[in-house]
Amino acid sequence: MAREFNEERENNFRHWNECLRNDLQPLFQSRLARPRSMGALIRHYNRNDDFLYGVVNPIYERAIGSALPRNELRPLLSSLPHWPMFLMGYACAIYQRAVREQGFGHRRNPGHLDLWSASYLPFCDIFITNDTRQRRALRVINKGNTHPARIISYAEWREKLLQP
């Protein structure tokens, strides 16, 4: 059941990013400047309260049952550190799968569960992963973390354990 659940989520995530890529590429070719990095994309959207509200409010409304008061957006994002991390995980996916000119697609980039792990970073001192793609993405996302975690590979962690 867990594998089927994950496959369904990943397929939805992949489809969403592929559709977004199809929508964005003509804009980049005509008039819209392509963000040069994942960090640039995150900074761009972080400055846009209308965009953030449009993303956060539907999630909030589904969970709470009423709309998020507009003036509570920034207080909510700063009071719950996993919100910004979760949003930056999605920004990472958007950049890597829908914006980037080369190396895009699901086979070369972290999956949805890999990026959802970003929401745990504020609660970690050390985050250990054997997934290189996940580790690279989380290191970028972690720069926006109010309590940055050390993100290391399993091999690095194992090496430290074996040292006398």
Interval 74-100: pLDDT, tens: 999 999 888 899 999 999 999 999 999
For residue 7, give its domain range.
2-162
* Residues 21-42, mean pLDDT to the nearest whole number: 90
Please tell me the predicted confidence (pLDDT) of residue 136. 93
**Element containing residue 129 per DSSP (H, E):** strand 126-129
Number of independent structural domains in the chain? 1
Please give the model's pTM, rounded to 2 decimal places.
0.83
Please tell me the predicted confidence (pLDDT) of residue 105. 80
Residues 6+ apart with CB under 8 A from 95: 35, 37, 38, 41, 42
Name the band, by pLDDT with cuts 50, 70 and 90, for residue 107: confident
Over residues 49-79, the pLDDT tens digits come to: 999 999 999 999 999 999 999 999 999 999 9
C-alpha closest to that of 14 among 118, 105, 108, 137: 105
